[in-house]
Structure 1
Amino acid sequence: MNIFEELQTNEKGLTSLEAEKRLEKYGRNELPEKKPEGFFSIFINQFKSPLIYILLGAGVIVSLMGEWADAIVILAVLMLNAIIGSFQEGKAQNTILALKNFVETKATVLRDDKEIIIPDGEVVPGDIIILQEGEKIPADAKIILSNNLRVDEAAMTGESKPVYKNIGDDILKGTVVVSGNARAVVFATGQNTSIGKIADKISEIDTEIPLKNNIKFLSTIIIRIVLVLAIIVFAVGIWHNHPVEEMILSVVALSVSIIPEGLPVVITLVLAMGVWRMGKRNALVKKLQAVEALGQADIIAVDKTGTITKNELVIKKVFINNNFYEIEGIGYEPKGDVKLNNEYINPIDDSDLVYLAKISSLCAEARIMFSSEDDLWHISGDPTEAAVLVFGQKIGFHKEELNKQYPKLEDNAFNYQKKYRSSLHNINGKKELIVMGAPEEVLNLCTKMYNDGKNIEIKKEEIEKILCKMLNDGLRVIAVAQKSGKEFSFIGFLGMKDALRLGVSDSILKTQNAGIKVIMITGDHKITAKSIAEEAGIYQKGDKIITGTEMDNMSDDEIIKEINNVSVFARVNPEHKLRIVNLFRSQGKIIAMTGDGVNDAPSLVAADLGISMGKIGTEVAKEASDIILLDDNFETIVSAIEEGRGIYKSIKKVLSYLLSTGLAEVLVILVALLLDMPLPLIAVQIIWLNFVTDGILDASLAFDPREDGLLNKKFEKPNKYLIDKLMAQRMIIFSLIMGIGTLLLFKQYYMIDITKAQTICLTVLAVFQWFNVWNCRSETKSIFNKDMFSNKFLVYGTIAAVLLQLAAVYNPFMQSLLGTTALTIQEWEFIILMASSIIIVEEARKFFVRST
């Protein structure tokens, strides 16, 4: 074939040495990615916010009025805020890029005439790649061997229907094998591939800040409040004969007081930390919006294999000719003894067992390979078929030798509708069709059964009793049949088991205690599914099980009536999965769905949260999902839910603190104007409070450790403004205490010394904030019962805020900048006594909540 000469390769593949040379010559098989945003671009983006526009407008106004000190401070604050925001956003971007590297696509290639699995970045022109169902094609290649290969080229052509590919056809990097298998020789890698030439059109991991809609709604409300209050304050001031210039400065001060300048920075910080922590717990968040759905999930629909089980299907028991054989061994290692009637036998001497192993191995189309890197056996292809090949090797058969001895004439991959696969072989000069799949479907085809080397009339009742016995043992059973002439003959059963992961039952219990219902969706038989679900704690007494066949005969309304009592869906296909997801969503439920196969992609996309498997998942499933479990473990889902809820709690803490401070400042200014008093605070002082005091403390609060008990009750979903009833109540209480306390002190001093009065106002509000940030650590726990040093950043932040406030009051330069003056010890005593009222009132509220 000319392609071999052109690429200087052959059907046995490249040598390892030649592959290394070509990797150096052609470079890694990677697409040119869009460069991450640079610091300057991120910096400019910090100013693209309606909240910042208001502050910029305020700076322009005060500068036009000659208040240069205020203008400089506002500008300095905006610049510093942007720098800090850029730094945090850059860290978030780097975190996601680093986590992205955890998910590395693999490719199976021939090197030195051996099949090996390598990172697809190491594929080079001239490599022979081996493709199986569910795999993403790693490079542009020409097919040299095809077995019913169908490829989904939607990513390249937009054509949704899979295309059959034959020998000589080209296949493209980034497209997906939907069914069948093939071998192909690579002729282009990296940016030389078809997709590499249009790389700018490739969708990348979405690093968009989550909750942006919630923040957008909140920002809109804040802006509207600013505009309404500004008009009211200006009108009231003019009505009370205040000078226009003074009222403009008052409006500026009011606007500045409401705007939570540090909010975007802190939310970026909280989210970046959450994503980083999720990564450490083996959950790769592709779309940060997933955090939102994760913490709020009502339903988790799990695909049994790999998530709650180890995904190491091992054939434990086989039945043929009225005998049960016990097969020993661990995982995919092709070694294990065989027992018949509790006695070890030499399997190659048992003609029945040899026959079953040979026939089933011929029909299986997976691959088993040993990796010297981790000293483990790995598979490529369907795990069920891999288990069959391992069984065959334990008996003494190797797939390659069987194919040579009994050439394959036709192969039909597993059909999700028919629930079986088939292959046609030339066996001793005769065409023999072998079928392997779901027992009920395979038995429906059979009119004969294998018995003592002959085919006799099938005894279905007896066979079905045998099947029930194996299913009740918790085995996943597949049936094997052979067609000679016009009739199918039942050969035997293969019973396999995939053990539960260690600790999965505890994880499911935690999830249920968190108010989240766990359902299992599986292709297994109803009896097997019930056994495994019961062992895992998913199925409880009184729960219902619905099969795919039953679903086909039920309307949506009929299923909805039953769905809340169903914990297991058995014998389902991908279409059923999609229907289940949509039915739960139609009830207003937030559903998270796990999946690993090509056909799981639609349901992963349809679910509020798609979760794919990092190890066993196909590339299609990974791309369709929002979160990838790097260890394929259900425990990781539980950890990620806890992190998601912790992120929301952190955001609530920060919002409670920031907005209560802003409301207090508004109250102070508005009431002072209504009572015809001078401004208690000038714009530059409010900026100081909002950025320096608040900025340090809210960022420190973001580092508060995750609260206990996040999984002990159902999660209360936040509304679109992120503020719930309790938050609103607390913010009103905090702002009233701070506002009234500040005005009482201001009233005592402003007639004597306005500079002193404003300094006291500035300082008492700062002290209120020092105390209030500790209040905000918990909605119910006393600040005296929480470990102060569990958040060292808050301890250091509070010390820093105190030192900076002392500088603001006593440093001559700061005095001239902020318009402050020195305070006496007695004045500090009044201030601290007044500010401590916020702790007393909040502690009383918390005590009342704990008591009821």
Structure 2
Amino acid sequence: MEPNTHASSFSRVHAAGESGQLDNKSGGADIGTDTDIEYSDDPSLVAPQTVAEALHTDLDNGLTAEEAGRRLTKHGPNELVGAPAMPKWKKFLAQFNDPLVYLLLGATAISLVAWLIERANNPAEAEKLPFDCIVIVLILIVNAVLGYMQEAKAEQAVAALSRMAAAHATVLRDGQSVSIPTADVVPGDVVLLSEGDTVAADGRLFAAAALHVAEASLTGESVPVTKNVTTLPEAKALGDRANMVFNGTSVTQGTGRFVVTATGMNTQVGKIADMLSAQKEEPTPLQKEIAFVSKVLGLAVCAIAVLVLALLAIVYGFNSTQDVIESLLLAVSLAVAAVPEGLAAILTVVLALGVQRMARHHAIVKKLSSVETLGSASVICSDKTGTLTRNEMTVQRVVTPSGEVALTGTGYEPIGEMTAVDGTELQVDDPRRTEAGRTLLIGATANDGQLSDDQTDGGHAIIGDPTEVSLIVAMRKTAVRGLYGRTDPAARYSRVAEIPFTSDRKRMTVIAADHDDDDHLVALAKGAPDVLLGYCDRIEVAGQVRPLTDTDRAGILAAVERLSDQAYRTLGAAYRPLGVTRIGQIPGLEQAIGPNAEAGDAPAADVADHPEIIEREMIWSGMVGIIDPPRTEVRDAVTEAHAAGIRTVMITGDHPLTAARIAKDLGIIEESGKAMTGDDLDRLAPAEFDSAVRSVSVYARVAPEHKMRIVDALQTQGQIVAMTGDGVNDAPAVKSADIGVAMGITGTEVTKESAKMILTDDNFATIVAAVREGRSIFDNIRKFLRYLLSSNVGEVFTVFGGVMLAGFLGIAEPGADSVTVPLLATQLLWINLLTDAAPAMAMGVDPSTENVMNRGPRKLTDRVIDGRMWGDVIVVGLLMATVTLIGMDLYLPGGLLTDDSAMGVAHADQIVMARTMGFTILVFAQLFNALAARSATQSAFRGMFANRWLWGAIALSVALQLLVIYVPVLNTAFGTTPLDPHQWLECLGLAALVLAGSEIYKIVLRVAGRRA
């Protein structure tokens, strides 16, 4: 290509070697060191072809895949560099940054002082190791390792989700447009832009049609900026560089192409990346509540500990330093027993695992916190095309002024033929053939879709809007019949300029050179038939153009109604010969554009700004009926959503009759139901609008502002709204909704960025499945919260009860004034380590024990840990403490169930045996509680073996407890002694009473619930 030096301020020495990034003395990116090209100013001051020359790229074909790979290796990913990752050793040490750990370290210091004092006073004990200190430190290290591993696993899960939800850009590689991750965009890439895209990098525009870009994120300009390709005469501020686009901004309208001049940290946004670094997110309601519960438990236990210390001082007195140390250790034990140390880490991992599971089922939740809201959804507002339907658009009907024809074949395979509606063959000279072929040709030319000839997975790959691609497929079917004497009818036209489709215009027009008419220009338009018809004043019938009459209009609109009632989506086609060969010669356009009318490619953008000059006095050609059949699985999903108390609302831009027909087929509305249009909504007073939103479930022909109003009204009514969307016009409503859901296949990048969840299969049934999964995840969180809290409260009651009732139960040393600690701090730490981590984690992936979709949505204001759960916690905690203290009482003299003569062992051994029994009973009581806590009301025996992970966790806990009981060095460390078989039977029998008592409690709750 010869460089275009028009308006260039380049000074080119020579271009040897690989390209770098453009030097921009006014704020651009520095050029790579491997180029000899010198620049005197930024890319906005030079012609785009000169920029392409400097970057060694081809504006028509882009880079080769090989060259792009080399540049990616050289320049690195097109990503902003965030704050440096915390080193692993810091992450590990952060596990110790917790008030509870400080408390345990205090206990270690107290225990070490006690050991030193005892060693000094008793030389015989000099060789005895400080096992309490060693065990506490080891358990702290093990807890830190587990917490580190859990957090690392959660981070990996979130990182995997981020990769799955990564933004994509459409670029030219080897002359083909391909979609690649934004991170793979390199300097010199040619990027294609369309409405709804997020700009992937900084670059110089070389093609733009009605292109408007929202740059508020970079410049603060609230109104989208109109872009063009005109070279600037002088350097301007960032917001005034109309021929440049910048990374992170979004296309609100139109199309364009640009050559990438800067990526990653070299982009404008990269230069302020430090200011854009992610701030710490606010904790979710669930996280806040758990932090609140932990705080309340900690304060309560501290208060109990102070009370216990005071009572000990009053009742027994502190006769020695050892008494003080033992009492302090007892107070620390209470604190250790109360708070589940791994709660926060377990919560994060359970959420991350659940979100990963949802991703495997085509729903990517971008933030873990969104799971909370997802399970509470009460209304799902869904688009129709591709979400409720298959999005395999197929043209089956073509209605022209001479009649109606049918096209056979389905999907995107260009195999089929044109027949009469009754299936009979059309004659070669039938005017319906010619008119239908012209209508399809117009639709395929006024079109941004692409149908690849390379087949993937047994079918043709498509790029762009499926509706547009369906017109290309239909055109290719007619090409088999040799219409217009061409193998490829699209070769008849070459596009010159474009007036893009927007959600407000509801039509698209291109200006093309007609090679069958000496390259004279013609305007070709497609769009909503009722809209496009308003711009037509003529109609072509059997080769003759005549004025369009009121009768013609009524007939066309009646056909629209008829096709729409049969669930067809309709698109009209019209054209207008312009009678000139250059854009600047179009009557009225030269005056509107001015002196630029004859200047190079400038008119392409200018034409898009003056649709009123082109889109008038058009000739109606015909319309197509496109079918997009409902997804077979959606009807069941809608039924399931209704059973779960979730209302389904369809909001579409399609025809009201088409929308109503699909909604009836899917069970969204009754057979007599109708759709309400955007015009209907505009006529309603505020009170009437609010009333309509409460009852209407199908909206058609709505504008973006209508979607926002509907979502806002539903939220005002207290609903938790999930809103699906794909186009840029959907982004505001998607962002405003409680759960914004973007389409992963057809969705624009802007919508994906606005959403909290992305569907990789664009399927409504996936939303319902995600809600079901969200509810299950939340139920599992409640399960392990019930389990952890009741288990830890059981430990507190055991220690507190053992101290307060020591004399009554015999848990005291005869003849001694000081109290005997019921369970050692090391034993309580071991119980928490053993029973809190693995079983709680396993409960986080528990299969549903109840049908979560047979109840109404949870309100976000509902407490996660409500009064009923606190009741469960207290009841089970008391049961645990009772059976544990009974087990200890059996092996101590002077208790309720024993007397001095019944015990034939030394007192020191009695204390060790009693503690070992209580220690073991409490461990097994908590493991039985893991089975009981899987449901608040259902029997633990229903689906008892459904969770193999839970049984694995129980088996692991049992094995580790056996080690503590039978390994001599662990006996010394934890103050335990081996148990006989009959003692094991006593431990298991007493511990099983927790499960039995829980079952009785659930029966009472079920009976009370039925009576209520």
Q: TM-score, normalised by structure 2?
A: 0.77
Of 829, 850, 873, the residue aligned with 1:687 is: 829
Cα separation, 2, equivalents of 1:483 and 1:23: 46
Between 1:96-105 and 1:462-471, the stretch displaced more is 96-105
Which deviations, in whole Å up to 9, do the C-alpha atoms of 1:364-384 show, x marking residues without a partner? 343333345556434444433
Of 235, 238, 262, the residue aligned with 1:188 is: 262
Cα separation, 1, equivalents of 2:845 and 2:454: 42
Cα separation, 2, equivalents of 1:803 and 1:665: 21
Which deviations, in whole Å up to 9, do the C-alpha atoms of 1:106-135 show, x marking residues without a partner? 444444544455555554444433322222
Of 12, 28, 32, the residue aligned with 2:60 is: 12
Cα separation, 2, equivalents of 1:399 and 1:202: 50
Name 2:253's counterpart in structure 1: 179
Cα separation, 1, equivalents of 2:226 and 2:211: 6
Which deviations, in whole Å up to 9, do the C-alpha atoms of 1:599-642 show, x marking residues without a partner? 22222221111111121111111111112112222232232222
Of 364, 380, 388, the residue aligned with 1:300 is: 380
Shift of the 106–825 alpha-carbon distance from structure 1 to 2, 3 Å rule, reads closer
Of 480, 497, 500, the residue aligned with 2:627 is: 497
Cα separation, 2, equivalents of 1:48 and 1:400: 68
Name 2:424's counterpart in structure 1: 343
Cα separation, 2, equivalents of 1:403 and 1:660: 76
Shift of the 746–116 alpha-carbon distance from structure 1 to 2, 3 Å rule, reads closer
Cα separation, 1, equivalents of 2:270 and 2:81: 10
Name 2:136's counterpart in structure 1: 74
Q: Is residue 136–residue 174 contact of structure 1 (8 Å, CA) maintained in 2?
A: yes
Which deviations, in whole Å up to 9, do the C-alpha atoms of 1:773-799 show, x marking residues without a partner? 2212333443334243x3333333323
1:807 aligned onto 2:963 = yes
Partner amino acid for 1:314?
T
1:587 aligned onto 2:681 = no
Cα separation, 1, equivalents of 2:880 and 2:166: 54
Q: Secondary structure at the match of 2:623?
A: strand
1:45 aligned onto 2:45 = no
1:54 Cα deviation from its structure 2 partner = 4.5
Partner amino acid for 1:293?
T
Cα separation, 2, equivalents of 1:732 and 1:25: 61
Q: Secondary structure at the match of 2:385?
A: helix
1:438 aligned onto 2:528 = yes
Name 2:927's counterpart in structure 1: 770
1:317 Cα deviation from its structure 2 partner = 1.0
Q: Is residue 206–residue 286 contact of structure 1 (8 Å, CA) maintained in 2?
A: no
Cα separation, 2, equivalents of 1:733 and 1:136: 56
Q: Secondary structure at the match of 1:9?
A: coil
Shift of the 521–691 alpha-carbon distance from structure 1 to 2, 3 Å rule, reads same
- Alignment of structure 1 residues 341-420 onto 2, 5 Å: 341=421, 342-345=423-426, 350-372=433-455, 374=457, 376-396=459-479, 401-404=491-494, 408=496, 411-420=498-507
Name 2:975's counterpart in structure 1: 819
Q: Is residue 447–residue 458 contact of structure 1 (8 Å, CA) maintained in 2?
A: no
1:793 aligned onto 2:949 = yes
Q: Secondary structure at the match of 1:523?
A: coil
1:684 Cα deviation from its structure 2 partner = 2.0
Q: Secondary structure at the match of 1:344?
A: coil
Partner amino acid for 2:250?
V
Aligned residues: 848
1:657 aligned onto 2:787 = yes
Name 1:218's counterpart in structure 2: 293
1:471 Cα deviation from its structure 2 partner = 0.9
Which deviations, in whole Å up to 9, do the C-alpha atoms of 1:721-769 show, x marking residues without a partner? 5213442232222112112223334445444643333333222212211
Extract unaligned runs of 5+ from structure 2.
Answer: 5-49, 117-129, 232-242, 319-323, 480-485, 578-612, 808-818, 894-899, 901-909
Q: Secondary structure at the match of 2:832?
A: helix
Pairwise CA RMSD: 3.3
Cα separation, 2, equivalents of 1:17 and 1:412: 32
Cα separation, 1, equivalents of 2:864 and 2:97: 21
Name 1:324's counterpart in structure 2: 404
1:70 Cα deviation from its structure 2 partner = 3.6
Shift of the 306–326 alpha-carbon distance from structure 1 to 2, 3 Å rule, reads same
Cα separation, 1, equivalents of 2:460 and 2:166: 19
1:17 Cα deviation from its structure 2 partner = 6.8
Partner amino acid for 1:442?
L
1:737 aligned onto 2:884 = no
Name 1:234's counterpart in structure 2: 309
Shift of the 120–331 alpha-carbon distance from structure 1 to 2, 3 Å rule, reads farther
Which deviations, in whole Å up to 9, do the C-alpha atoms of 1:322-361 show, x marking residues without a partner? 4112123333344431113433347897332233234434
1:87 Cα deviation from its structure 2 partner = 0.8
Q: Is residue 115–residue 369 contact of structure 1 (8 Å, CA) maintained in 2?
A: no
1:21 Cα deviation from its structure 2 partner = 6.8
Q: Is residue 339–residue 345 contact of structure 1 (8 Å, CA) maintained in 2?
A: yes
1:533 Cα deviation from its structure 2 partner = 1.2
Shift of the 742–850 alpha-carbon distance from structure 1 to 2, 3 Å rule, reads same
Q: Is residue 29–residue 190 contact of structure 1 (8 Å, CA) maintained in 2?
A: yes
1:319 Cα deviation from its structure 2 partner = 1.1
Q: Is residue 725–residue 741 contact of structure 2 (8 Å, CA) maintained in 1?
A: yes
1:689 Cα deviation from its structure 2 partner = 1.7
Q: Is residue 208–residue 287 contact of structure 1 (8 Å, CA) maintained in 2?
A: no
Cα separation, 1, equivalents of 2:178 and 2:961: 65
1:831 aligned onto 2:961 = no
Partner amino acid for 1:227?
C
Cα separation, 1, equivalents of 2:188 and 2:101: 56
Shift of the 756–572 alpha-carbon distance from structure 1 to 2, 3 Å rule, reads same
Q: Is residue 81–residue 265 contact of structure 2 (8 Å, CA) maintained in 1?
A: no
1:507 aligned onto 2:582 = no
Q: Is residue 657–residue 675 contact of structure 2 (8 Å, CA) maintained in 1?
A: no
Shift of the 254–544 alpha-carbon distance from structure 1 to 2, 3 Å rule, reads farther
Q: Secondary structure at the match of 2:206?
A: strand
Between 1:449-458 and 1:392-401, the stretch displaced more is 392-401
1:281 aligned onto 2:361 = yes
Q: Is residue 361–residue 399 contact of structure 1 (8 Å, CA) maintained in 2?
A: no
- Alignment of structure 1 residues 543-622 onto 2, 5 Å: 545-622=675-752
Q: Is residue 449–residue 458 contact of structure 1 (8 Å, CA) maintained in 2?
A: no
1:272 Cα deviation from its structure 2 partner = 2.7
1:141 Cα deviation from its structure 2 partner = 2.5
Partner amino acid for 1:307?
T
1:289 Cα deviation from its structure 2 partner = 0.9
1:430 Cα deviation from its structure 2 partner = 8.1
- Alignment of structure 1 residues 429-508 onto 2, 5 Å: 435-446=525-536, 448-452=538-542, 453-456=544-547, 457-459=549-551, 460-482=553-575, 487-508=617-638
Between 1:198-207 and 1:522-531, the stretch displaced more is 198-207
1:469 Cα deviation from its structure 2 partner = 0.9
- Alignment of structure 1 residues 58-73 onto 2, 5 Å: 58-60=107-109, 62-63=111-112, 69-73=131-135
Q: Secondary structure at the match of 2:157?
A: helix
Cα separation, 1, equivalents of 2:101 and 2:686: 49
Q: Secondary structure at the match of 2:252?
A: strand
Which deviations, in whole Å up to 9, do the C-alpha atoms of 1:411-455 show, x marking residues without a partner? 332233343334456776987655533333334455554444222
Name 2:234's counterpart in structure 1: none
Cα separation, 2, equivalents of 1:510 and 1:79: 47
Q: Is residue 132–residue 380 contact of structure 1 (8 Å, CA) maintained in 2?
A: no
Q: Secondary structure at the match of 2:504?
A: coil
Cα separation, 2, equivalents of 1:250 and 1:171: 67
Extract unaligned runs of 5+ from structure 1.
Answer: none
Shift of the 826–351 alpha-carbon distance from structure 1 to 2, 3 Å rule, reads closer
1:578 Cα deviation from its structure 2 partner = 1.6
Shift of the 22–836 alpha-carbon distance from structure 1 to 2, 3 Å rule, reads closer
Which deviations, in whole Å up to 9, do the C-alpha atoms of 1:283-329 show, x marking residues without a partner? 22211111111111111111112212222222221211141121233
Name 1:264's counterpart in structure 2: 344
Shift of the 69–117 alpha-carbon distance from structure 1 to 2, 3 Å rule, reads closer
Cα separation, 2, equivalents of 1:464 and 1:372: 38
